Amino acid sequence: MSSTDLRLGRGPVAGYLTETGRALALGLRRHALLHVLAISVLVISFTAALYVDRLADMKVAGLAAFPILMAIAVLCAIMREMYRLWRSGHQGSVIPAIGRMIASDLLLPERVANFLHANIAFVLFMSAFVTLKIILPSLNPFQWDMTLAEWDRVLHLGSHPYQILQPALGYPHVTKALDFTYNLWFFATFGCWIVLSAARCDSVVRQRFLTAFIVTWFLGTCVLGTFFSSVGPVFYGRLLGGEDPFQPLMIYLKEASSVSPLWALDIQDWLWSGYVNGTGIVKGISAMPSMHVATCILFILLGFSSGKYWLGWLAAAYATLIFLGSIHLAWHYAIDGYAGLAVALVGWYAAGWLVRWDRARQGIADA
């Protein structure tokens, strides 16, 4: 093949680009619902920021996350291929084998299109989501903590949930394990999104999870979080002053951190500094509902809906640890977790209806 062939639009490179263009055009139709939802939330966040005169907090820089997501996806694929080669007893250099994997699998037009469309929607939505979370106190100042804490106490027969859990969880190494598990959630969440976004085939289950993610996070933090504006047990005393029913828990966590440092305490200090000073990388406080719990519920539903029951049960065990950790590490009231469960179920079933309607409208058969 000569360079003239390529210039005239012939040859394998031109053919690949043509196929990728077609896949991108088809992918645009199939991801239209996701794009509409993401752009709608972006418009809402812009309008809200304009309303409270906080346009400076618009996080359009979230678009910079796109190349990071792409790099992570490629790295994960390479690591998976290296593991497969090792298991198969591959001899010699792995570089040619990895090159073949990238050309024949990773760069398939369908996979490229699915990844690009899903993650364009993702970064648009997350830019809007982070903006809304940061300006939340300006939309509705924190005022629900005393009520939520009292509801929590009454619901649990006169005791705060952390007091019920403390005899079982109140050991520094147990606390450290929960702290590690809780922070692992970030990798689990975005890892799940990356895996599904980079899928070769666009299935109804894939679309349902991606849509449910956006719907759940929007309904959770941007709607309920704004209405039930609260900071959670960790900041109860800092916000309200006076008697703090969660002070014994915070004293214990500081003591446990002296034995084995807790990431939670550092992140909590960064969040409070961001709230008070308006500076720092980590900003945006919202306790009700727990999006950690809500997202884990989506993991469970994804596992069982995809027919991978082992994954569903594993996700259920992980969700339990996240729920316990959210209370024990002072991030949330127990009622925040219950609300997270409810909003995830609403998001999942709303997404199911939306995806079925969208695919029927386009004449796409379920896959």
pTM for the predicted model, two decimal places: 0.87
Q: Are residues 237 and 250 in the same domain?
A: yes
Q: Are residues 258 and 217 in the same domain?
A: yes
Q: Are residues 101 and 186 in the same domain?
A: no
List the structure tokens of 366: 């379920």
Q: Are residues 329 and 181 in the same domain?
A: yes
Q: Are residues 343 and 307 in the same domain?
A: yes
Boundary of a domain, candidates 91, 109, 137: 137
CA distance 7 to 191: 39
Q: Is the pLDDT of residue 142 over 60?
A: yes
Residue-level pLDDT at 281: 65
| Residues 39-60, mean pLDDT to the nearest whole number | 79
H-type alpha helices, the chain: 3-7, 12-30, 32-51, 65-87, 95-101, 109-139, 145-155, 161-169, 172-197, 204-217, 226-227, 236-240, 247-259, 263-277, 291-305, 309-328, 334-362
Q: Are residues 161 and 116 in the same domain?
A: no
Its sign, for the CA torsion 145, 146, 152, 155, is negative
Q: Are residues 151 and 112 in the same domain?
A: no
Structurally, how many domains does the chain consist of? 2
Q: 199 in a domain, yes or no?
A: yes
Boundary of a domain, candidates 122, 137, 152: 137
Q: Are residues 247 and 208 in the same domain?
A: yes
Most confident of 2-11, 110-119, 146-155, 356-365: 146-155
Q: Are residues 150 and 129 in the same domain?
A: no
Read off the pLDDT of residues 245-272 as tens digits, 9 standing for 90 and up: 999 999 999 999 999 999 999 999 888 8
Read off the pLDDT of residues 79-124 as tens digits, 9 standing for 90 and up: 777 777 777 777 777 777 777 777 777 778 888 888 889 988 998 8
What one-character DSSP code corresponds to residue 306? Answer: T
Domain that holds residue 105: 31-137
List the structure tokens of 58: 């618009």
Q: Are residues 110 and 152 in the same domain?
A: no
For the chain, the C-alpha Rg in angstroms (whole number) is 23
Q: Is the pLDDT of residue 315 over 90?
A: yes
Boundary of a domain, candidates 117, 137, 157: 137
Residue-level pLDDT at 312: 93
Residue-level pLDDT at 19: 83
| Residues 279-293, mean pLDDT to the nearest whole number | 83
Q: Is the pLDDT of residue 203 over 80?
A: yes
Q: Are residues 67 and 147 in the same domain?
A: no
Q: Are residues 300 and 365 in the same domain?
A: yes
